[in-house]
Amino acid sequence: MIESLTVMFWLLVGHALADYPLQGPYLAQAKNRNSSLGRDGAWRWALGCHAMIHGGAVALATGSVVLGVCETVAHAVIDFAKCEGWLSYDTDQALHVVCKAVWFAVWALAL
């Protein structure tokens, strides 16, 4: 039980690190294709790298590269939707936490 809670804790810590100090102002703006930094096509690289940081955190927490890839894709889709104005900031963050809960459930069921 404690091991399981530890994995969920690290999933959430990874999210907090990747979405705040590891993102920074440049990446936060460049990942948005509607921003001055993202308009030249840099958004694809910035969004992809940001999502990969999240995927790496999930892979480290769970020991599963497959879950890390799933997180990378999900995070990119959610952030793209937020940058397009389709999601609020709160909805964006809630969906990221829901993803962590899903990865945790898949990890726990695979034990």
Mean pLDDT (the chain) is 95
Domain that holds residue 98: 2-109
Helix, strand, coil percentages for the chain (3-state, nearest 5): 75, 0, 25
What mean pLDDT is predicted for residues 36-50?
94
Domain count, the chain: 1
pTM of full prediction above 0.85: yes
In degrees, rounded to 5, the angle at the alpha carbon of residue 68 between the alpha carbons of residues 33 and 56 is 75
Q: Mean pLDDT, to the nearest integer, of 55-77?
A: 98
Please say if the pLDDT value at position 34 is more than 70: yes
Whether the pLDDT of residue 1 is over 90: the answer is no
**The pLDDT of residue 111:** 76
Cα separations in angstroms, 55 against 37, 40, 64, 68, 72: 23, 25, 10, 4, 5
Give the mean model confidence (pLDDT) for residues 48-59. Answer: 98
Torsion-angle region of 42 (φ positive above 0: left; ψ -120 to 50: alpha; else: beta): alpha
**Rounded to the nearest 5 degrees, what angle is found at the Cα of 100, between the Cα atoms of 82 and 67?**
100
For 80-100, what is the mean pLDDT?
98
Question: How many angstroms separate the most distant Cα atoms in the chain?
Answer: 48
